[in-house]
Amino acid sequence: MYARRLAVCLGTLAALTAAGGAQAEWRDGGEVYDKVCRYCHEANVGPVLKGRALPEEYVRRVVRMGNRAMPAFRPTEIDDATLADVARRINGSEALARE
Amino acid sequence: MVSKSKAKVLPKGVSAADFDKAVREIRAIVGDEHVVVDEDKLAPYRKIMMPVPDDQHELSASVMPDGVEEIQRIMKVANKYRIPVYPVSTGKNLGYGSAAPVQRGQIVMDLRRMNRIIEVDPELCTALVEPGVTYQQLYDYLQEHKLPLWFSCPAPSAIAGPVGNMVDRGVGYTPYGEHFMFSCGMEVVLADGQVLRTGMGAMPNSNTWQVFKWGYGPTLDGMFTQSNYGVVTKMGMWLMPAPPDFRPFCIQYPDEADITKIVEALRPLRIAMVIPNAVVIAHTLWEAPCTPVKRADYYTGPGAIPDEAVKRIQKDHNIGAWNVYAGLYGTKETNDANWKIIEAVAAGTGGKIITQEASKGSQALEYRFDLMKGKPNLGEFGLYNWRGGGGSIWFAPVSQAKGAETLKQMQMAKTILGKYGFDYVGEFIVGWRDMHHVIDLLYDRSNPEQMEKAYACYDELLHTFAKEGYGMYRANTAFAEKVAATYGPVKRDIEKRLKKALDPNNIIAPGRCGISL
């Protein structure tokens, strides 16, 4: 996803220099969910999203607009295509297993 | 006259025709898809948590450059049309202004696309990163490359980033918790388009940019923090070797007045670096929402939550009146030796130690322990559920690390907050000799009465504290001017003269930290 992909490892003790400075890109919506959404929405901070068949349009809109304390996310943070994938995955997700 | 421009608002003093011309020229620099003027699409920039109308911080457009050269060219256009641009990096300075501009009509320069980790040197333990890099991204990078290096991050670490946080002089929780102190070397695009590298970076072919801060002559880095003298496009930072043994702990104390003895006991350990990290002393009502405890389960009446209810929360959920978070970072041998000191201090002051083993299952303890080793999470966002409604501004005065001072500040803050019906949700973050007294003024932003009260409350806090000689270490954009004014006229005059010299057309974030022409 990140600069690391193009990073050139010059040996374990040499400086790691990203060739030309690789830009971060999300692998897919699953990675966004794991690295952003999950921190609140599976941690008693925000409501659980999985298993509720939340409409994709609703998810996309809340991510862009924010909602009360939920921050808004810009296309520079999560691009439209990846956000659509996040929304699709949330919409089709199974409910979280209860402990 | 009806403007032809699509922009909902325009920068002050700029005609619609000039604005449109500028936007066209900026589009030619960064590409059409990286300039946004449509009101709907600007929504994510508009989301603020401050107790002022959204309109006050409405932007005219956003531009998303990728690279120093593009920023240099944008500066030329901004100068030509006298259009102010407001740079943001990750834009997650929540409760301090988020990604919205300090003044209505400014064009937000969103640097999030510039998210390259340019270099990590595992021998010297340094990194060089761009403004769009997040702490999570840097964490993943270090993990993937199996580099045993830690950084310090603030609580919203998964979505915030090191450049923006350091530039705003934010703090974190590891031994490198005073973030600006552990930065080393900046690259800055100035308003005239010149590119400055600070410290050793100014010298051609230097390889010491990230290892020696000062260079020759005046050291300039501080000028580009909490200011608007340039656009920071790269920043060096020091990373900490992961210690062979990390021993985080919490010490809980039963009474609010215990803050005095806590600070007196901890200060010597912190100054001598027996405890090397930025110790946090968190109040019950900071811990409760992150546990999580629901406020409504304890109090639904008007005004601030009564002390009696706070006591019940402490008892029901095993939370201290104060909860001290710190860690030992060393080898097993050194930590074993220092642990005896910690145990003796806790016993001597009536504190109850909770170790990492005993913390399992406690959400509040676990996110704190993760932060103390620079592991990103968003556990602290539990705070926002305390009052609900998305209102939050940080009131953050600096205190001496002396017990009587902290007690005085806590009592002053609690009294003023209570007067407006708000709870004291505060913590002290210990520097070496100072404390960042950080209070989250939480309110319901959908409730107009609470909005009004939150604004008035912050205003009274600010001015009452200033009268006692207590200044803010950082402030939200709505109060930038008022906070700057508390630091007196001479400092402001110098800041203005610097602005005039470096940015005579006032195009970089005018109003940021109260600096403008």
A76 interfacial to chain B (CB closer than 8 Å): yes
Total residues found in chain A within this entry: 99
Interface test with A, best of B37, B120, B143, B209 (most A CBs within 10 A): B120
pLDDT of residue B458: 98
pLDDT tens digits for range A42-99: 999 999 999 999 999 999 999 999 999 999 999 999 999 999 999 999 999 999 886 5
CA dist., res. B449 & res. B241, Å (int): 49
Judged by CB atoms closer than 8 Å, whether chains meet at A39 and B378 is answered as: yes
Q: Strand, helix or coil at B426?
A: strand
Torsion angle, alpha carbons of B92, B376, A31, A82, to 10: 10
pLDDT tens digits for range B177-212: 999 999 999 999 999 999 999 999 999 999 999 999
| B49: chain A residues, CB-CB within 8 Å | 69
What angle is formed at CA B167 by the lines to CA B162 and CA B168, rounded to 5 degrees?
100
Per-residue pLDDT at A25 exceeds 90: no
Q: Strand, helix or coil at B231?
A: strand
* Beta carbons of A6 and A18 less than 8 angstroms apart: yes
Interface test with A, best of B41, B59, B115 (most A CBs within 10 A): B115
Q: Report the pLDDT averaged over residues A5-17.
A: 46
pLDDT tens digits for range B492-505: 999 999 999 999 99
Judged by CB atoms closer than 8 Å, whether chains meet at A65 and B389 is answered as: no
A62 interfacial to chain B (CB closer than 8 Å): no
Closest approach of B63 to chain A, Cα-based (Å): 10
* Beta carbons of B322 and B283 less than 8 angstroms apart: yes
Judged by CB atoms closer than 8 Å, whether chains meet at B47 and A71 is answered as: yes
* Beta carbons of B158 and A35 less than 8 angstroms apart: yes
pLDDT tens digits, chain B, 517 residues: what are they? 444 677 889 999 999 999 999 999 999 999 999 999 999 999 999 999 999 999 999 999 999 999 999 999 999 999 999 999 999 999 999 999 999 999 999 999 999 999 999 999 999 999 999 999 999 999 999 999 999 999 999 999 999 999 999 999 999 999 999 999 999 999 999 999 999 999 999 999 999 999 999 999 999 999 999 999 999 999 999 999 999 999 999 999 999 999 999 999 999 999 999 999 999 999 999 999 999 999 999 999 999 999 999 999 999 999 999 999 999 999 999 999 999 999 999 999 999 999 999 888 889 999 999 999 999 999 999 999 999 999 999 999 999 999 999 999 999 999 999 999 999 999 999 889 999 999 999 999 999 999 999 999 999 999 999 999 999 999 999 999 999 999 999 999 999 999 999 999 999 999 999 999 9
In this prediction the ipTM stands at: 0.95
Per-residue pLDDT at A20 exceeds 60: no
* Beta carbons of B436 and B429 less than 8 angstroms apart: yes
* Beta carbons of A69 and B381 less than 8 angstroms apart: yes
Closest approach of A7 to chain B, Cα-based (Å): 9
